[in-house]
Structure 1
Amino acid sequence: MSKGGQTVKRVLRMFAAVIMAALATGCTSISYYAQSMEGHVQIMAARENVGKLIHDPSTPEALRARLTSANAIRRFATDELALPDNSSYRSYVDIRRDDVTWAVFAAPQFSLTPRTWCFPVFGCVPYRGYFSRKSATETAAELHGQGLDVYVTGITAYSTLGWFSDPLLSTMLRQDDTYLASLIFHELAHQKIYVNGDSAFNEAFAVAVETSGVRKWLRATGNRAGLRRYELDRRRKADFLGLVSKTRDELRQVYESSGNAEQMAAAKAAAIDRLRTRYRQMRDKRWVGYRGYDAWFGSQINNAKLAATAVYGEQVPAFLRLFDLCSGDYPRFYASVRRIGDLPATSRAQALKTAATCH
């Protein structure tokens, strides 16, 4: 049997087990798993070995150069960041679209707590992912019809947490090598440590590995200009998250007030207007006109969008502080993160925030 055929059979067996578990728990519809299975099988069956593509004379030169960089980044991930040494990101798929999946987030009209969906193997997460933009949009419309705030965003890469050999995707190559390195380090971090049901912990950990890893990689390759650009991007991202955090704090006060629905809706709109005003002021003065976040602020802002942003950002500083406490030693850092991840969910975030040593 061909390697592609073996992959398809393995995927089908895995999804069959997941669907049976879903039937037992009643957690999600069969149609949702069917679209996930179809989308993932198509990608896995289309994989091509990166090494062969690099040496194939018919491979376009631009693609060969990007895959050569990806190979070096992949080796760096294992050799220098102690990330999994497996077959992930050693194959390539041109998916011929701008995003591999689309994530749908939802939150109540007057709450910043996102709705969650639970899945066998992966636990509970604050979004549903679709391989079809149309399906994602239809789900968003259905959730909106239930009175929820919704947010749909395209996804560049996803991780199967080591269940399969995740490939490089054409979406991962659409920016420079720094962006590619950040994606590879981030997704491999999910394979290293993943705590079921705690997306904020998982994503912040992966961002911390991504951030420290990219810095180390840029230094190792002598790319000083790239490192300066990356650090500037990180400062802007911190500024952005600070604006979002301030607005989230304002909205919490609104939602915890004794106001009626009409009053809360007006206060919510005013808080979001202030967020946009603060952004424009920061962009034009502190950022000297840099417009990289204009698209985010130019589209609808609601509780679902603010919740999605918080998932990927709020705990990152605590993880980076722990990394420093571990003296930049990745195995020690992973061991410390794993111990915190084993704590009860109610005490996990506080333990991370107050960690004084690298255990």
Structure 2
Amino acid sequence: MKKFRIVFTDLLLFSLLGYTLFQVPLTVYGLGQARGQFLIVWNAKDIKELIATGKFNQEETEKLLLVEKIKTFSVDSLNYKPSPNYTNYFDQQGKSLLWIVTACRPFKFEDYEWDFPYLGKVSYRGYFDSLKAEKEGKRLKKLGYDIDVGKVNAWSTLGWFKDPVFSEMLKKHKGELANLLFHELFHGTIYAQNSVDLNENLANFIAHKATMQFLQKDSTELNLYLKDHAEEALYDKFIFKCIGRLDSLYKTFSPVPDDKIKKEKKIKLLHSFTDELKDQDLLPEKTRKKMKKRFLRSGNAYFMHFTRYDGLADSLEGVLQKKYRGNLSEMIKGLRTEIKSL
């Protein structure tokens, strides 16, 4: 099996080299990403074998066994594509593994996009090295963009590698874990080229609906999941109102460059958002302080995360109810037919 992994990784590296022969920076980036992913795949261990050794406590073992149930449910009940993922385990040892960089114009909700072979245009870029992520963020900031650099706790390699269960995933409660896996497994089922917002919105929407179906027979976990989701939905609603107000402000700006005045007005509005967070008691005080810093530090790049993942939620709900009469499995079946997936 290890020999196969080496050959497969070499093929990926040569593919990247072939695509980017005349794009040295992208080639270097691709090699770095392949190396980071390879180290994870190489050091991941078979879950069943690890369980047999008694490595995990009872709660961890139950979570790992739950992963297989989630995978089975995704195929048998939801029309997901069968996946070889999440049969191995990788111990993060409490460390973060991946960071993503996003960027947006400062006075317009327009993402900066990177061009990738195979995937097309993508509005975020991942790094297994936090320093490299920060460096890319600084480069874009110098170009005048709002930038955001954040940690990622899961990702899909779209079948290029065998994605493992990460140790930090086992700290999530049942609903959180199910939602995360349904999201990533959906990417392995449907992923359209040059359509990041559609891909992420679909995965988020489907994962939420799938999680509720999966937890139907476990009322305690379902209620816990729905409680958390309701709190997140309130915050999301607040953020989308903020986006609308920022967008209205930007539309009042003249095309003539006067960035100092524009920035002052924008910062004033961002400060008002944090005051409203406190007034509405949407977040704990400690979290509000973090959000204030992030609003001011990342600006539009932070807010674009929400449109990227939840901006189409209402439209997708309409499609589910009207076109598929609330049948999630039929919706996924239809999407697999309608969307040309990578």
- One of 284, 288, 292 as aligned partner of 1:294: 288
CA distance in 1, matches of 2:27, 2:165: 28
Does residue 245 (structure 1) correspond to residue 243 (structure 2)? The answer is no
Residue 257 of structure 1 pairs with residue 230 of structure 2: no
CA deviations over 1:154-188 (Å, ceiling 9, x no partner): 00111011233211111322221211111110001
CA contact (8 A) 2:102 2:148 kept: yes
Q: Distance in 1 between matches of 2:108 and 2:99?
A: 23
- Whole-angstrom CA distance in 1 between matches of 2:216 and 2:124: 35
Task: Pick closer, same or farther for the CA change 1:295–1:341 going to 2, 3 Å.
Answer: farther
Alignment of 1:276-295 (within 5 A): 276-283=274-281, 294=288
The equivalent residue for 2:211 is 214
Residue 125 (structure 1) shift: 1.1
Q: How far apart in 1 are the matches of 2:231 and 2:213?
A: 20
- Alignment partners' CA distance in 1, 2:34 and 2:43: 14
Query: What is the aligned-residue identity percentage?
Result: 22
How far apart, in 1, do the equivalents of 2:196 and 2:162 lie?
22
* 1:128 matched to 2:116: no
Question: Which of 99, 103, 109 does residue 112 from structure 1 map onto?
Answer: 109
Confirm or deny: 8 A CA contact 2:209 2:328 kept in the other structure. Answer: no
Residues 176, 225 of structure 2: 8 Å contact kept: no
The whole-number CA distance in structure 1 between the counterparts of 2:85 and 2:223 is 29
Shift of 1:80: 2.0
1:103 to 88, 100, 103: 100
CA-CA distance at 1:74 after TM superposition: 2.3
**Does the 8 Å contact 1:103/1:130 carry over to 2?**
yes
Match of 1:78 among 63, 69, 75: 75
Supply the distance in 2 between the matched residues of 1:163 and 1:33 (Cα, whole angstroms): 13
Q: What does residue 28 of structure 2 align with?
A: 31
Cα distance, 1:229 vs structure 2: 2.4
Shift, 1:237, TM fit: 2.1
1:4 aligns with 2:2: yes
Deviation at 1:79, TM superposition (A): 2.1
Structure 2 Cα separation of the partners of residues 56 and 295 of structure 1: 44
- For the 8 Å contact 1:117–1:128, the answer to whether it is kept is yes
For each residue in 1:203-231, what CA deviation from the matched residue of structure 2 results, as whole angstroms up to 9, or x when unmatched?
A: 110011110111011113x2x23222222
Bigger mean CA offset, 124-133 vs 84-93: 84-93
Unaligned ranges ≥5, structure 2: none
Structure 1: segments with no counterpart, 5+ residues = 343-359
State the partner residue of 2:164: 167
SS of the residue 2:148 aligns to:
strand
> Deviation at 1:297?
1.4
Residue 28 of structure 1 contacts residue 118 of structure 1 at CA under 8 Å; is this kept in 2?
no
Q: Aligned equivalents of 2:77 and 2:338: distance in 1?
A: 23
Contact 2:271 2:292 in 1 (8 A): no
Letter of the 1:157 counterpart: A
C-alpha separation between the residues in 2 aligned to 1:136 and 1:164? 22
C-alpha RMSD of matched pairs (Å): 2.3
TM value normalised by structure 2:
0.89
Query: What is the number of residues matched between the two proteins?
Result: 334
Q: Would you say the 8 A contact 1:4–1:44 is kept in 2?
A: no
Cα offset for 1:201? 0.6
Partners of 2:43 and 2:327 lie apart in 1 by 37
Q: Match for 1:126: what amino acid? A: S
Give the alignment's TM-score, normalised by structure 1: 0.85
Q: Residue 68 in 1 paired to residue 62 in 2?
A: no
Displaced runs of 4+ in structure 1, greater than 6 A? Answer: none
Higher relative contact order (CA 8 A, sep 6+): 2
